[in-house]
Structure 1
Amino acid sequence: MRGAVIACGRRIPPLPGVTDDHVAHVGHRPGKDEVDPVLARAAESAGDAAGDPGEGATGADVVVAGTDGDLAAVVLRLLRTDRLATLSVGYVPVERNSAVAAVWRLPTDPARAFDVATRAEIDRVPLIRDDSGGVLMGGGVLTKVRGVGYCDDTTALRGLARRIHAEPDNSGGPGLVLQVVGGLLGRRRKTYTGRAFQLGCDPTVPVVDGVAHPREVTRLSWYRHTEDLRLARGVVG
């Protein structure tokens, strides 16, 4: 493999053919001090100054092994260090119910996921941000929400919803897919697509990529970033 591996937490399975000099062991949802040095080394190895390697590139520059929340933490550092255009990402989920794997049709078997991360073609996929400085990689959930919300210019919520779920659009659409679930039994479901979702509501706690927000919010925005994420998920070479 040519890239760096960021192994988050202690639940990382054995990865075939990986030597210690390629692995950075970090904690769950790692921050700047743990991630940025790895990204800098990966950028140097990839030839940061060379710019975008273009379509048809294979194998990620940085492979993240961990949870969806761990992946989000690493991608946030890519965003903050302005390396989205120069470093591609691969993902080895440690949880079978990974929302990221489901959205982007990635394998959850560690060996197969690692093969895709290190050998597959690089695709551009929507990167979803929020108004609190984070990113949404696989799914964002709000439960028992009362308020008013808009998906682009369309009213998606006015009143009470049992559940709102947002995820990146994997169909080549505007960027974001939103499902609003209503009714006493949750049988009334409406799906919206757009570049952004904005919500004003009674206090609620968003859960994004399996991580609950540290406090209640009364306003929330999810929106597509101007740059896409470069993700290893295509044909394995």
Structure 2
Amino acid sequence: MRGIVLACGNASLDNESPMITERDGIEVLQVPSRPGKAHVDAITSDLGDRRLVVAGTDADLNAVVLRLLRTERVAEVPLAYVPSSPESAVAALWGLPTDTGRALDLALSGDPDKVPVLRDDTGGVLVGLGVISPVRGVGYCDDDNVLRGQATRLEVTPDPDGGAGLIVRVIHKRLLGRKVRETAGRAFQLGCLPTAVTSDGIAHPRQMNKWTWYRHTEDLRLVRGL
């Protein structure tokens, strides 16, 4: 399989270089963390039949998916991910290996699956885990009122089973554990007191008093299966 590997930030593939060099048509490019237009658009516009591999953090993958969305290539480009952290929420959600060697092998030989990608009302995307915490307000998942009042934490992910598009988890921490309410839908809307929002490990630069995540009209072609 021919492809281009974007090694983002401090991501290093030195120990896996034999695996790469033994394959024809694999090119490794070192790019900054959370690469933007200057480092992604020219590559994705000239991929041809090659696949794109992102080696780095969930935030790096988020940045690349954002460029695919803005250049209308989300449904066109097969995208693979080699997470640099074993704590990757994207890897956990989509069942991807976190061992670099195994992840790279899957990235270069696996088949792409269509998976939901979420957008927000500030122009961003969500590939793995979105967190709003702490939160006090009113939230809806489609027509379902999932929050009225206070919660310790809200988590939103794309739906790993496809479904309508996303999963919302409203979490209340208590002395003897925690209570979690889970709801599936296409969109989540929240009005609240100003609070922190994080998408794929990227903290929004200011506190927000409203937020929306919703399923994009096209699915991402994420490499997941062998």
Give the TM-score taking structure 2 as reference length. Answer: 0.93
Please say if residues 13 and 94 of structure 1, whose CA atoms lie closer than 8 Å, have aligned partners that are also in contact.
no
Distance 1:10 1:18 in 2: 18
Structure 2 residue aligned with 1:29, among 26, 34, 43?
34
Distance 2:76 2:155 in 1: 31
Distance 1:119 1:184 in 2: 45
Structure 2 residue aligned with 1:79, among 69, 75, 80?
69
Shift of 1:21: 7.0
Distance 2:26 2:107 in 1: 18
How does 1:1-237 map onto structure 2 within 5 Å? 1-14=1-14, 15-16=16-17, 17-19=19-21, 22-42=27-47, 45-46=48-49, 61-182=51-172, 184-185=174-175, 187-234=178-225, 236=226
Distance 2:64 2:156 in 1: 20
Task: Sort the Cα spacing of 1:136 and 1:3 in 2 relative to 1 into closer, same or farther, 3 A.
Answer: same
Larger proportion of strand: 2
Shift of 1:188: 2.0
Aligned residues: 220
Task: Sort the Cα spacing of 1:183 and 1:64 in 2 relative to 1 into closer, same or farther, 3 A.
Answer: closer
Distance 1:38 1:67 in 2: 19
Distance 1:183 1:154 in 2: 22
Give, as a single letter, the amino acid of the residue that structure 2 aligns with 1:210: G
Please say if residues 24 and 38 of structure 1, whose CA atoms lie closer than 8 Å, have aligned partners that are also in contact.
no
Please say if residues 2 and 26 of structure 2, whose CA atoms lie closer than 8 Å, have aligned partners that are also in contact.
no
Q: After TM superposition, which residue ranges in structure 1, 4 or more long, deviate above 3 angstroms?
A: 183-186
Please say if residues 59 and 201 of structure 2, whose CA atoms lie closer than 8 Å, have aligned partners that are also in contact.
yes
Give, as a single letter, the amino acid of the residue that structure 2 aligns with 1:177: I
CA RMSD of aligned residues (A): 1.6
Give, as a single letter, the amino acid of the residue that structure 1 aligns with 2:41: D
Give, as a single letter, the amino acid of the residue that structure 2 aligns with 1:36: D
Aligned-partner SS, 1:206: strand
Shift of 1:183: 5.1
Gaps of 5+ in 2: none
